[in-house]
Structure 1
Amino acid sequence: MTSLKTLPKSEKVNVWVFPGQGSQKLGMGIDLLKLPLGKLRLKQAENILGWSISDVWQSQTKKLSNTQYTQPCLYVFMTVLADLMKKSGYHPDVVAGYSFGEYTALYTAGAYDFETGLQLIQKRAEIMSRLPQGSMVTLIGFEGDKLRDEVLKTEDVWFANDDPKYAVISGTSQGVASILSNVPVERVIPLEVSAAFHTPLVEPAAKEFQPVLETTAFEPLSIPIFCSTDFVFSLRVNQVKDNLIRQISRSVKWQMISQRLINQGINKAIQLGCGQGLLKPMKNIDPGLEISNVGSSADIDSIVIRDQLKKLANINPAVIRV
């Protein structure tokens, strides 16, 4: 186990967090198409995948919600953002990811190069795309006890997360429909996924994927990743790989992960990808947490300008007022 107490300290101890499948948005990554790094990564991706990431990003909604396409699209999108952040002089002290997001976190930590990671993701997505159809929905505004009771007694439905305010249930379409018909909910948000992830229903995919993962060479990690099933920081490749297999069929405990990160001294968090879904629970735990979202090259430019202004203000407070 690695503790943040053993890591080099800076003014802010920061974590980069990466969202998982279901966070994708049509139009994400469009600004990256004009950048040299974006063009290079898209060319590399097309050579590996045999199809165009940029076409799916821009106009193919149905493909973007199909696991076989979703995961490679998210991987390319978020890894390019991570590389651009590093080119701008930013580096995390630790990384963490929500489900699939752990793969982009591992890329950022140096576990594999871009192409090796994409080949791994391509195989994972192919395996998971063959799973039976299922449903995942986010529920907002419900009676907690009533929902828990219904989930416990309903066949083939499970909680896929641990958020008491924004519950995600996952299972067969029939099972999820049964829950929704028996529990009053103010708002139901279907997730753009094709299977019942983070349930025992996807264990066959985990078993099929395990030998693929085991035979993929990982480099030593340059920074720790927070393993979502062991709830520890790790630099150990074997532990990280075991975590990647287990997390496929287990509920994502992001509330617990957030609490552990903050307890270890994290006081700055940056989400790379669409939205701020992972940052909100962290901010609720620690209102003083400094948070930022990076979903485009413009967001990176804004962070750079903001930090430059802060430095100027610290040098001479009379120079500028922000």
Structure 2
Amino acid sequence: MNAYVFPGQGAQFPGMAKDLYSSSEKAKSLLESANEILGFRITDIMFDGTAEELKETKVTQPAVFLHSVVLALISEDFKPDMVAGHSLGEFSALVANGVLSFEDGLKLVSKRALAMQKACEINPSTMAAILGLEEEKVEKICASIDEVVVAANYNCPGQLVISGSHKGIELACAAALEAGAKRALPLPVGGAFHSPLMEPAREELEKAIDATHFNPAKCPVYQNVTAKASSDIDEIKENLKIQLTAPVRWTQSVQAMVADGATHFTESGPGKVLQGLVKKIYREAEVSSI
């Protein structure tokens, strides 16, 4: 069975999707409509902007979403048996899966990015990657600290990202190293994504999701919050609403897809980060890009 996976924030690079725009009329049409929907020419930044310009909040998430979705929508071979996306990538997966229209997906991603930026300004915070320590130990360390700090991204065995206040992350990193972690790396991000500190953004996004039309899923989507297959529209919406304050269970999602028959994982989007994670979770998996 074929699983298609969609990357999240951080996969962007200067010149992204430029080749798609110049080689496919359908891609060009979708990207031009994105410029109109967003109210600015995001393609100018994607194609010719610097890495720093691509990091701007209103640009990063829509840019990764657009590259990922356009690849899937113009591919004649896109016939998924199941889909999943890492954080932001879940929105790409839902558009590719027919649950959200291209326009509605892009609008939600844009609102999500701006809401997350506001939440970061309300609660200054950060994230860190803990390498080479068991999940249970990292979870216990987070729970033992008298600050907001939680497990945020279960990326693959031995790689868990934590999220929280600056003080909480500092204390957790020190405790993780003391407990035997190979490394504890602060990440260059603007806030504590997938933690309780994103509550203001969650509330804002919830209203936008409630106002958006969702279609029946063409195939199951394995969502970050539950790491289980879902085709029920109400369930998909509820999981999407709490995604910003809940952890990304990527390891568990890939394990669930494999248990349900996935043998080939195709990444749709910029970069190859998810292919690397999939191989670390399940070595026998075949991986490729669109």
TM-score of the pair, normalised by structure 2: 0.86
CA distance in 2, matches of 1:249, 1:48: 27
In the TM superposition, residue 259 of structure 1 has moved relative to its aligned partner by: 1.1
Report deviation, 1:208: 1.9
Partner SS, residue 131 of structure 1: helix
* Offset, 1:79: 0.7
Report deviation, 1:149. 4.8
Residues of 2 paired with 1:116 and 1:145: CA distance?
Answer: 38
Counting only pairs closer than 5 Å after superposition, residues 54-133 of structure 1 correspond to structure 2 as 54-57=43-46, 58-85=48-75, 87=76, 89-132=77-120, 133=124
Deviation at 1:143, TM superposition (A): 7.8
- TM alignment of 1:237-252, pairs within 5 A: 237-252=233-248
1:217 match? 213
* Candidates 13, 21, 45, aligned match of 1:33: 21
Percent identity, please: 34
CA distance in 2: counterparts of 1:142 and 1:287, whole angstroms: 20
Q: How does 1:138-149 map to 2 (within 5 A)?
A: 138-141=129-132, 147-149=138-140
Higher mean displacement: 16-25 or 194-203: 16-25
Q: Which of 161, 175, 178 matches 2:171? A: 178
**Is 1:207 aligned to 2:207, yes or no?**
no
Is the CA contact 1:96–1:102 (under 8 Å) kept in the aligned structure 2?
yes
Distance in 1, matches of 2:98 and 2:246, equals: 25
CA RMSD, aligned part only? 2.3
In the alignment, structure 1 residue 152 sits paired with structure 2 residue 110: no
Match of residue 310 from structure 1: none
Distance 1:189 1:78 in 2: 27
**AA at the equivalent of 2:28:** K
> Higher mean Cα deviation, 98-107 or 141-150?
141-150
- Deviations, residues 97-130 of structure 1 (Å, cap 9, x unaligned): 1111110000011112212221222222221221
Name the CA distance, whole Å, in 1 between partners of 2:229 and 2:108.
Answer: 23
- Does the Cα contact within 8 Å between 1:96 and 1:226 map onto a contact in 2? yes
- Equivalent pair of 1:78/1:104 in contact (CA under 8 Å): yes
CA shift in 2, pair 1:48/1:253, >3 Å: same
Report the Cα distance in structure 1 between the residues aligned to 2:235 and 2:135, rounded to whole angstroms: 34
State the Cα distance separating 1:210 from its structure 2 match. 0.9
1:274 deviation in Å? 3.1
Name the CA distance, whole Å, in 2 between partners of 1:287 and 1:53: 37
Q: CA–CA distance in 2 between the matches of 1:146 and 1:234?
A: 30
Compare 110-119 and 135-144 and name the one that shifted more. Answer: 135-144
- Mapped partners of 1:159, 1:144: distance in 2: 9
**1:176 corresponds to which letter in structure 2?**
I
Letter in 2 for 1:137: A
**Displacement of 1:188 after TM fit?**
5.2
Q: Does 1:48 align with 2:41?
A: no
Partner of 1:305: none
**Counterpart AA for 1:50:** G
CA deviations 1:252-294 (Å, max 9, x no partner) are: 1111111111111111111112333333343344332211134
CA distance in 1, matches of 2:135, 2:110: 38
Distance 1:34 1:212, change over 3 A: same
1:286 aligns with 2:282: yes
State whether residues 67 and 193 of structure 1, in contact with CA within 8 Å, keep that contact through their aligned partners in structure 2.
no
**Whole-angstrom CA distance in 1 between matches of 2:265 and 2:39:** 35
Pair 143,259 (structure 1): closer, same or farther in 2 beyond 3 Å: closer
Counterpart for residue 127 of structure 2: 136
- The one-letter code matched in structure 1 to 2:36 is N
Per-residue CA distance 1:30-84 (angstroms, 9 max, x = gap): 3223132332222111111122222322323334223322111111111111112
Aligned pairs for 1:298-313 (under 5 A) are none
Q: Which runs of 5+ in 2 are unaligned?
A: none
Q: TM-score, normalization: structure 1?
A: 0.78
